[in-house]
Amino acid sequence: MGEHEKLICNNKKAFHDYFIEERYEAGMVLQGTEVKSLRNGKANLNDSFAMVKNGEAFLHNFHINPYDFGNRENHDPDRMRKLLLHKKEIVKLFAKIREQGYTLIPLRVYFKEGKVKAELGLAKGKKNYDKREVMKEKDMQRDIAQGLKDRNRGARDRD
């Protein structure tokens, strides 16, 4: 994350369920009450995804809580939001998404120089055995770290 960025929300589940191959930064078309709600950190990326339709990219299932002090003009929390990408990027992404197994997942949403940005990942789904391998690797690393910690503690006790 850059020094002029403020994180709004993360999608931790994306790294567990997908292999992220490429990353893209996109702006978003938002209403005023949505930006105010995002400034309060009231957003959720779980189960959200992006799609390319008619040469435009859209973010689906990105939940932004209604603004607390909004009136009848408050936004719909789960509406589809347009993503701002260059035409070349959209064409490239559309071609990749058409390939088997690729999907476009939002990884995080943040403020960058006062503007709301979404980091998108071109991802391929993990199989269950891939997830088990990753978990097994993490367990082994944790056990190794714990073993070294115990060994160092035992050396101090003997001194």
Q: Tell me the pTM.
A: 0.71
Question: Per-residue pLDDT tens for 110-151?
Answer: 999 888 999 998 888 777 766 777 778 888 888 888 887 777
Q: Is 141 exposed, middle or buried (0-12, 13-18, 19+ CB in 10 A)?
A: exposed
CATH number of 5-126: 2.40.280.10
- Picking from 1, 8, 3, the residue whose alpha carbon sits closest to that of residue 116 is 8
